[in-house]
Structure 1
Amino acid sequence: MTIHQRTRRLFSISLATTLLLNICDAQAPSLDPILAPAIEHDDGAGFDAMASRGYSPLFNGKDLSGWWNPYPHGEANVVDGEIHLTADQKFFLVTKEKYSNFRVSVEIHLPEGPANSGVMFRCHVDEDAKKKVFGYQAECDGSDRRWSGGLFDESRRGWIWPSTKGRSLNQFLQHEEESKAAFADPRIANALNRNGWNRYVVTCVNDVITIEVNGIQTVRFRDAMDATGYIGIQHHGEKDQTYRFRNLFIKELPQIPAEQHVQLTVQEPVSIKRINDSVTQIDFGKVAFGNIVMPAPPGRGTATIHFGEKTKDGRIDQDPPGTVRYGFTPIRLGQQRGNWIVPTPIDPRNVQQSGLMNANPPAVLSPDSWQSVMPFRWIEIEGLDPDYPFELVRRRAAFSSTWNDDASAFECSDETLNRIWELCKYSIKATTFAGVYVDGDRERIPYEADAYLNQLSHYATDDNVTMAARTFDWLMENGTWPTEWAPHMVFMAHAEWMHSGDTEWLSHRYESLKSKTLLNRSGDDGLVRSAEIDRKRHDIVDWPQKERDGFVFTEINTVVNAFHIKALQRMAELARAVGKPNEAKRFSDRAKLAMSSLQKQVFDDEAGIYRDGIGTNHSSIHANFFPLAFGLIPDDKRPGVLAWLEEQDMQCSVYAAQYFMEGLFNNGSDCKAIELMTADGDRSWKHMVNSGTTITWEAWGMNYKPNQDWNHAWGAAPANLLPRFILGVQPLSPGWTTTTIRPCPGDLKFANGQIPTPRGPISIQWKKDSSFVMLVNLPGGVSADIALPVTDEATGVWVDGQPVEATKTKDRWILRDPIQGSATIEAK
Structure 2
Amino acid sequence: MKKQLYLLFLLACVLNINAQNNIEQVALKTSLVKPQKITKIKEGHYLIDFGRAFFGTVQIKAKNTQNDPISFHLGEKLENPNKIDRNPGGTIRYRNATVDTLTEGQLTTVKLVPYKRNTTGAAILMPDNIGAIIPFRYCEIENLKIPIDAIEIWQKAIHYKFNDDASYFSSSNAILDSIWNLCKHTIKATSFTGYYVDGDRERIPYEADAYINQLSHYSVDNEYTMARRTNDYFMNNPTWPTEWLLHTVLMFHLDYMYTGDLEPLKKHYENLKLKTLMELERADGLISSKSPKLNKAFISKLGFKNPNTKIKDIIDWPPAQKDTGWKLATEEGERDGYEIVDTNTAVNAFYYYNLKLMAEIAGFLDKKEDATLFQNKAAITKKTINEKFLDKSKGFYIDGEGSSNSSLHGNMLPLAFDLVPEKYVKTVTSFIKSRGMACSVYGSQYLLEGLFKNNEALYGSELITNTKGDRNWWNMIKIGSTMALEAWDMKYKPNADWNHAWGTAPLNIVTRYMWGIKPKTPGFKIAEIKPQLGELTFSKIKVPTLNGMIYAEYETGKKKEAIYKIELPNTMEAEFILPDATCKVMLNDKKIKSNKTSFTLKGGKNIIKLKY
TM-score for both structures, normalised by structure 2: 0.88
Please give the alpha-carbon distance, in whole angstroms, between the structure 1 residues aligned to 2:102 and 2:519: 59
Q: What SS does the corresponding residue of 2:205 show, helix, strand or coil?
A: coil
- Maintained 8 Å contact 1:727/1:751: no
Partner of residue 411 from structure 2, selected from 608, 624, 633: 624
* Compared CA separation, residues 817 and 424, structure 1 to 2 (3 A): closer
Matched, 1:557 2:331: no
Matched, 1:284 2:50: yes
Please give the alpha-carbon distance, in whole angstroms, between the structure 1 residues aligned to 2:583 and 2:124: 57
Q: What SS does the corresponding residue of 1:434 show, helix, strand or coil?
A: coil
Deviation at 1:390, TM superposition (A): 5.7
Deviation at 1:691, TM superposition (A): 2.7
Deviation at 1:678, TM superposition (A): 1.4
After superposition, residues 59-74 of structure 1 pair within 5 angstroms as: none
- Maintained 8 Å contact 1:256/1:367: no
Aligned to 1:179: none
Please give the alpha-carbon distance, in whole angstroms, between the structure 2 residues aligned to 1:433 and 1:565: 34
- Specify the code of the residue in structure 2 equivalent to 1:756: P
Deviation at 1:439, TM superposition (A): 1.0
- Maintained 8 Å contact 1:484/1:539: yes
Matched, 1:304 2:76: no
- Specify the code of the residue in structure 2 equivalent to 1:442: R
Partner of residue 398 from structure 1, selected from 120, 143, 158: 158
Aligned to 1:684: 472
Please give the alpha-carbon distance, in whole angstroms, between the structure 2 residues aligned to 1:695 and 1:487: 27
Matched, 1:762 2:550: yes
RMSD of aligned Cα (Å): 2.5
- Maintained 8 Å contact 1:530/1:554: no
> Please, which runs of 5 or more residues in structure 2 have no aligned partner?
295-309, 320-332
**455-464 or 813-822, larger mean C-alpha shift:** 813-822
Partner of residue 824 from structure 1, selected from 593, 607, 611: 607
- Maintained 8 Å contact 1:279/1:384: yes
Matched, 1:656 2:443: yes
Please give the alpha-carbon distance, in whole angstroms, between the structure 2 residues aligned to 1:288 and 1:801: 48
- Specify the code of the residue in structure 2 equivalent to 1:799: L
Aligned to 1:785: 575
Runs of 4 or more consecutive aligned structure 1 residues displaced over 6 Å after TM superposition: 334-337
Deviation at 1:302, TM superposition (A): 2.7
Deviation at 1:252, TM superposition (A): 8.4
Deviations 1:126-149 (A, max 9, x none): xxxxxxxxxxxxxxxxxxxxxxxx
Matched, 1:321 2:81: no
Matched, 1:345 2:133: no
Please give the alpha-carbon distance, in whole angstroms, between the structure 2 residues aligned to 1:491 and 1:334: 51
Please give the alpha-carbon distance, in whole angstroms, between the structure 2 residues aligned to 1:389 and 1:291: 20
Deviation at 1:433, TM superposition (A): 1.0
Aligned to 1:773: 563
Deviations 1:397-433 (A, max 9, x none): 01222x1111111111111101111111111111111
Please give the alpha-carbon distance, in whole angstroms, between the structure 1 residues aligned to 2:61 and 2:529: 53
**717-726 or 694-703, larger mean C-alpha shift:** 717-726
Deviation at 1:537, TM superposition (A): 7.1
* Compared CA separation, residues 795 and 331, structure 1 to 2 (3 A): closer
- Maintained 8 Å contact 1:407/1:462: yes
- Specify the code of the residue in structure 2 equivalent to 1:517: T
Deviation at 1:689, TM superposition (A): 2.4
Deviation at 1:656, TM superposition (A): 0.5
Partner of residue 23 from structure 2, selected from 249, 255, 258: 255
Q: What SS does the corresponding residue of 1:369 show, helix, strand or coil?
A: coil
Partner of residue 274 from structure 1, selected from 29, 36, 40: 40
- Maintained 8 Å contact 2:485/2:498: yes
Q: Percent identical across equivalent pairs? A: 38
* Compared CA separation, residues 300 and 581, structure 1 to 2 (3 A): same
Please give the alpha-carbon distance, in whole angstroms, between the structure 2 residues aligned to 1:585 and 1:776: 38
Please give the alpha-carbon distance, in whole angstroms, between the structure 1 residues aligned to 2:261 and 2:225: 12
Q: What SS does the corresponding residue of 1:547 show, helix, strand or coil?
A: coil
* Compared CA separation, residues 751 and 554, structure 1 to 2 (3 A): same
* Compared CA separation, residues 209 and 452, structure 1 to 2 (3 A): closer
Please give the alpha-carbon distance, in whole angstroms, between the structure 1 residues aligned to 2:151 and 2:36: 10
Matched, 1:430 2:189: yes
Q: What SS does the corresponding residue of 1:275 show, helix, strand or coil?
A: strand
* Compared CA separation, residues 276 and 472, structure 1 to 2 (3 A): same
> Please, which runs of 5 or more residues in structure 1 have no aligned partner?
1-5, 15-204, 211-219, 221-250, 354-361, 808-812
Aligned to 1:697: 485
* Compared CA separation, residues 464 and 455, structure 1 to 2 (3 A): same
Aligned to 1:158: none
Please give the alpha-carbon distance, in whole angstroms, between the structure 2 residues aligned to 1:434 and 1:390: 33
- Specify the code of the residue in structure 1 equivalent to 2:157: A
Matched, 1:610 2:397: yes
Partner of residue 488 from structure 1, selected from 247, 252, 256: 247
Deviations 1:666-697 (A, max 9, x none): 11101100111112111111222233321110
Q: What SS does the corresponding residue of 2:215 show, helix, strand or coil?
A: helix
Deviation at 1:328, TM superposition (A): 1.1
- Specify the code of the residue in structure 2 equivalent to 1:344: L
- Maintained 8 Å contact 2:61/2:152: yes
Deviation at 1:435, TM superposition (A): 0.5
* Compared CA separation, residues 567 and 559, structure 1 to 2 (3 A): same
Deviation at 1:298, TM superposition (A): 3.8
Deviation at 1:448, TM superposition (A): 0.3
Please give the alpha-carbon distance, in whole angstroms, between the structure 2 residues aligned to 1:633 and 1:755: 31
- Maintained 8 Å contact 1:772/1:788: no
Partner of residue 583 from structure 1, selected from 366, 370, 374: 370
Pair member with larger Rg: 1
* Compared CA separation, residues 517 and 270, structure 1 to 2 (3 A): same
- Maintained 8 Å contact 1:805/1:816: no
- Specify the code of the residue in structure 2 equivalent to 1:788: L
- Specify the code of the residue in structure 1 equivalent to 2:231: F
- Maintained 8 Å contact 1:650/1:683: yes
- Maintained 8 Å contact 1:806/1:816: no
Deviations 1:266-287 (A, max 9, x none): 1211122222234222111110
After superposition, residues 374-385 of structure 1 pair within 5 angstroms as: 374-385=134-145
Deviation at 1:303, TM superposition (A): 2.5
Please give the alpha-carbon distance, in whole angstroms, between the structure 2 residues aligned to 1:490 and 1:422: 29
- Maintained 8 Å contact 1:494/1:570: yes
Deviations 1:763-801 (A, max 9, x none): 11122452332111111221111112228xx54221111
Please give the alpha-carbon distance, in whole angstroms, between the structure 1 residues aligned to 2:391 and 2:60: 65
Q: What SS does the corresponding residue of 1:289 show, helix, strand or coil?
A: strand
Matched, 1:707 2:467: no
Please give the alpha-carbon distance, in whole angstroms, between the structure 2 residues aligned to 1:605 and 1:209: 44
- Specify the code of the residue in structure 1 equivalent to 2:234: L
Deviation at 1:816, TM superposition (A): 4.4
Matched, 1:753 2:541: yes
Q: What SS does the corresponding residue of 1:484 show, helix, strand or coil?
A: helix
- Maintained 8 Å contact 1:324/1:709: yes
- Maintained 8 Å contact 1:308/1:325: yes
Deviation at 1:367, TM superposition (A): 1.3
Partner of residue 815 from structure 1, selected from 554, 574, 598: 598
Please give the alpha-carbon distance, in whole angstroms, between the structure 1 residues aligned to 2:462 and 2:190: 27
Please give the alpha-carbon distance, in whole angstroms, between the structure 2 residues aligned to 1:392 and 1:820: 48
Deviation at 1:257, TM superposition (A): 4.0
* Compared CA separation, residues 336 and 254, structure 1 to 2 (3 A): farther
- Maintained 8 Å contact 1:738/1:782: yes
Deviations 1:46-103 (A, max 9, x none): xxxxxxxxxxxxxxxxxxxxxxxxxxxxxxxxxxxxxxxxxxxxxxxxxxxxxxxxxx
Deviation at 1:588, TM superposition (A): 1.3
After superposition, residues 442-461 of structure 1 pair within 5 angstroms as: 442-461=201-220
Deviation at 1:299, TM superposition (A): 4.5
Aligned to 1:417: 176
Please give the alpha-carbon distance, in whole angstroms, between the structure 2 residues aligned to 1:705 and 1:288: 22
Aligned to 1:548: 335
Deviations 1:557-595 (A, max 9, x none): 000000001001101111111121101111111111111
TM-score for both structures, normalised by structure 1: 0.66
Please give the alpha-carbon distance, in whole angstroms, between the structure 2 residues aligned to 1:432 and 1:676: 27
